[in-house]
């Protein structure tokens, strides 16, 4: 295949949807054939258009199609793809040095990212951070730190949770297919409790916060013993599991309970963090202050970086040399993070996320009035979803979900699905998307429902 000259990415890219071939087009199909022959089948694709440039709210593919992006590469490019401050700092850093290994000879960028994390994550207490490569690695390290600091082993996770694909994080992740099937045995001392899922709570949404908390507290008491629990880990808004938003009150109750029992409260903000939900972190919404926070995705504008941030005395409980890795906090990734964080602050991206929610939620609620199979519209800021099910029985409808997603894709709108039952359409636009593109994307979605 000859490489066609692609436009430069970033916000300068024409901010419009334009389809010049069917989706996927012939060049993407050629690449797909190469991909099938060269890349392991286990690594899947949501939409096999091969991207050559991206920026603002669009993805441009190898055939010259320009798609509206409601996915941000799974909540990563919140500041936009090839965001100017990210690209500039990365370019500068890559020309200076690409690696020393922070554990061998340190550099300022790593320290500056940790300072920013300590300042921006919930709570004004003294904090420390450590940097890693991926979300799963951050979660693994948060559990290591919690076990070391408490001298306890058990970890409590929730139904519908997603925390990664490594061995320990597979154990924490709830869903079997595709994440866990035949990949066991899994790490031990992981206990799963019911999630406060208002739509599906047996006693109804109004009773959910209180009853779910009581069920969790009782479950921990009877099945594990409070004194054996190192940490409770929870996504303050669940991601892969279906954008489940716990009812007001549930997280504060859970955090208080943990404090009373010497259990560390770990907030996995890997998907919900860094302005996505309209606050810097989803925990901020109810003033919940976790002992440890895991971050990744949005932190570095697309560069691979992740972190654990927590109370100084907990983080510093681990002996020198107990945490690390060759690449964790790579200088180029740190430069990306500093550019991304600067962008979030300079452009007030929490406010942008709230504005996106204010535009999306009313249109989606209206859509739900027309199509009763939309049984729930939920989320905050630019982390929004609709759940599809039979309105009488709440039997999940993954087939309709796939059908709507496919209709969006071929019309040039990148949307993602999620959910334990595969029946949730989720919307995670870059926070810098133009409002005209956002509205156009919603119109495509409306057409997709009309075509069911
Ligand atoms: N914790 C809350 O959302 C990653 C997974 C995509 P990594 N979610 C996207 C897939 O199918 O692999 C995620 C998350 C939460 C942890 C992780 C793991 O982050 O950077 O993918 O390891």
Please write the tens of the pLDDT for every residue from 346-400.
Answer: 999 999 999 999 999 999 999 999 999 999 999 999 999 999 999 999 999 999 9
Instruction: Describe the strand order of the beta sheet including 306-311 as a list of residue ranges.
Output: 127-132, 306-311, 292-295, 264-268, 229-234, 154-158, 190-193
Q: Kindly state if the Cβ of 140 falls inside 6 Å of ligand 1.
A: no
Decide whether any atom of ligand 1 lies within 6 Å of the 180 Cβ: no
pLDDT band at 169 (very low <50, low <70, confident <90, very high): very high
Please tell me if the CB atom of residue 162 comes closer than 6 angstroms to any atom of ligand 1.
Answer: yes
Does the Cβ of 136 fall within 6 Å of ligand 1? yes
Q: What is the pLDDT of residues 57-103, one digit of tens each?
A: 999 999 999 999 999 999 999 999 999 999 999 999 999 999 999 99
In contact, 299 and 340? CB cutoff 8 Å? yes
26-82+349-450 — its CATH code? Answer: 3.90.1150.10
Cβ atoms 296, 108 nearer than 8 A: no
Task: For the chain, give every domain's residue range.
Answer: 26-82+349-450, 85-346
Q: Which of 288, 253, 254 is nearest to 272 (CA)?
A: 288
Ligand 1 centre distance from Cα of residue 63 (Å): 29
Q: Read off the pLDDT of residues 260-272 as tens digits, 9 standing for 90 and up.
A: 999 999 999 999 9
Ligand 1 lined by 239 (C-beta under 6 Å): yes
**The pair of three-digit structure tokens given for residue 41, joined into one six-digit string:** 């089948």
Q: How far is the CA of 162 from the centre of ligand 1 (A)?
A: 7
Separation CA 359–CA 357 (nearest Å): 5
Which residues, 6+ apart, have CB-to-CB distance to 236 below 8 Å? 246, 251, 267, 268, 269, 272, 281, 282, 283, 285, 288
Determine the pLDDT at residue 7.
Answer: 84
Task: Dig out the tokens for 335 from the structure.
Answer: 């430069």
> Sheet of 383-388: strands edge to edge?
374-380, 383-388, 424-427, 416-418
Does residue 69 contact residue 47 with C-beta atoms inside 8 Å?
no
Confidence of residue 1 (pLDDT cuts 50, 70, 90): very low
> Which 3 state secondary structure label does DSSP give 171?
helix
Taking residues 272-295, report their average pLDDT: 98
Q: Is the CB of 56 under 6 A from ligand 1?
A: no
- Cα-to-centroid distance, 296 and ligand 1 (Å): 9
CB of 270 closer than 6 angstroms to any ligand 1 atom: yes
Whole-Å CA distances, 450 to 67, 239, 364, 389, 444: 20, 27, 13, 16, 10
Sign of the alpha-carbon dihedral angle for 298, 301, 303, 308:
negative
Question: Measured from the CB, is residue 173 less than 6 Å from ligand 1?
Answer: no
User: How many residues does this entry show for the chain?
Assistant: 452
DSSP conformation class of 284: G
In this predicted structure, what is the pLDDT of residue 4? Answer: 53
| Pocket probe mutation, ligand 1, options 168, 171, 270, max atoms within 8 Å of Cβ | 270
Q: 135 CB less than 6 Å from ligand 1?
A: yes
Structure tokens at 93: 């850093």
Q: Is the pLDDT of residue 342 over 60?
A: yes
Question: For the segment 109-137, what is each residue's pLDDT rounded down to a tens digit?
Answer: 999 999 999 999 999 999 999 999 999 99
Closest-CA residue, ligand 1 atom 1, reads 163
Residue 42, pLDDT above cutoff 80: yes
**Is the peptide bond preceding residue 255 cis, with omega within 30 degrees of 0?**
no
235 within ligand 1 shell (Cβ under 6 A)? yes
Does this model's pTM top 0.95? My answer is: yes
- From 201, 220, 223, 199, select the one nearest 211 (Cα to Cα): 201
Q: Which residue bears the tokens 């057409």?
A: 447
User: Does 26-82+349-450 match 85-346 in CATH topology?
Assistant: no
Give the end-to-end CA distance of the chain in Å, rounded to a whole number: 37
> What's the gap in Å between 427 CA and the centre of ligand 1?
16
Task: Return the ∠ at Cα 78 (arms to 72 and 83), rounded to 5°.
Answer: 100
CA of 393 relative to ligand 1 center, distance in Å: 31
| Atom in ligand 1 nearest the alpha carbon of residue 137 | 22
> Which atom of ligand 1 is the closest one to the Cα of 178?
11
What pLDDT, in 10s, does the model give residues 431-449? 999 999 999 999 999 999 9
User: Which atom of ligand 1 lies at the shortest distance from residue 238's CA?
Assistant: 2
Q: Answer for the pair 385, 423: CB distance below 8 angstroms, yes or no.
A: no
**CATH number, domain 85-346:** 3.40.640.10
Is the pLDDT reported for residue 2 higher than 50? no
Place 5 in a pLDDT band, splitting at 50, 70 and 90. low
Residue 193 bridge partners (DSSP): 158
Q: Please tell me whether residue 51 adopts helix, strand or coil conformation.
A: strand
* Residue 308 alpha carbon to ligand 1 centre in Å: 15
Q: Cβ(212)–Cβ(201) under 8 Å?
A: yes
135 CA distance to ligand 1 centroid (A)?
6
Closest by CA position to 140, among listed 169, 112, 113, 118: 169
Verify whether ligand 1 is closer than 6 Å to residue 164 (CB atom): yes
């Amino acid at each position: 295949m000859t490489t066609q000259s692609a436009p430069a990415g970033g916000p300068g890219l024409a901010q419009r949807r334009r389809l010049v071939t069917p989706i996927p087009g012939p060049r993407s199909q050629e690449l797909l054939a190469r991909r099938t022959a060269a890349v392991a089948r286990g690594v899947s694709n949501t939409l096999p258009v091969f991207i050559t440039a991206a920026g603002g709210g669009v993805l441009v593919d190898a055939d010259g199609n320009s798609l509206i992006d409601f996915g941000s590469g799974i909540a990563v490019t919140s500041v936009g793809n090839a965001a100017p401050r990210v690209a500039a700092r990365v370019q500068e850093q890559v020309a200076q040095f690409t690696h020393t290994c922070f554990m061998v000879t340190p550099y300022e960028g790593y320290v500056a990212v940790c300072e920013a994390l300590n300042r921006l994550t919930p709570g004004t207490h003294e904090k420390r951070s450590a940097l890693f490569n991926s979300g799963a690695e951050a979660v693994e390290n948060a559990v290591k730190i919690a076990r070391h600091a408490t001298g306890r082993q058990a970890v409590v996770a929730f139904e519908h949770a997603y925390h990664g694909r490594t061995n320990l994080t597979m154990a924490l992740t709830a869903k079997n297919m595709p994440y866990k099937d035949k990949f066991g045995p899994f790490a031990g001392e992981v206990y799963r409790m019911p999630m406060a899922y208002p739509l599906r709570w047996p006693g109804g949404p109004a009773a959910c916060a209180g009853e779910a908390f009581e069920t969790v507290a009782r479950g921990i008491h009877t099945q594990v013993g409070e004194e054996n629990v190192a940490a409770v880990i929870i996504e303050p808004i669940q991601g892969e599991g279906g954008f489940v938003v716990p009812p007001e009150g549930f997280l504060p109750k859970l955090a208080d309970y943990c404090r009373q029992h010497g259990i560390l409260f770990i907030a996995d903000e890997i998907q919900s963090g860094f302005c996505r939900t309209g606050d810097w972190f989803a925990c901020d919404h109810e003033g919940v202050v976790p002992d440890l926070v895991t971050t990744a995705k949005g932190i570095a504008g697309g560069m691979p970086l992740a972190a654990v941030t927590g109370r100084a005395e907990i983080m510093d409980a681990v002996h020198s040399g107990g945490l690390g890795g060759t690449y964790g906090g790579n200088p180029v990734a740190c430069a990306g993070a500093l550019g991304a964080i600067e962008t979030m602050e300079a452009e007030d991206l929490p406010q942008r996320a709230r504005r996106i929610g204010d535009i999306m939620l009313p249109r989606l609620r209206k859509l739900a009035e027309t199509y009763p199979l939309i049984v729930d519209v939920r989320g905050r800021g630019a982390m929004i979803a609709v759940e599809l099910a039979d309105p009488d029985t709440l039997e999940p409808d993954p087939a309709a979900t796939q059908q709507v997603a496919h209709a969006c894709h071929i019309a040039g709108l990148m949307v993602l699905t999620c959910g334990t039952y595969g029946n949730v359409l989720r919307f995670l636009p870059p926070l810098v998307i133009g409002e005209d593109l956002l509205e156009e994307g919603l119109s495509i979605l409306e057409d997709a429902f009309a075509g069911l």
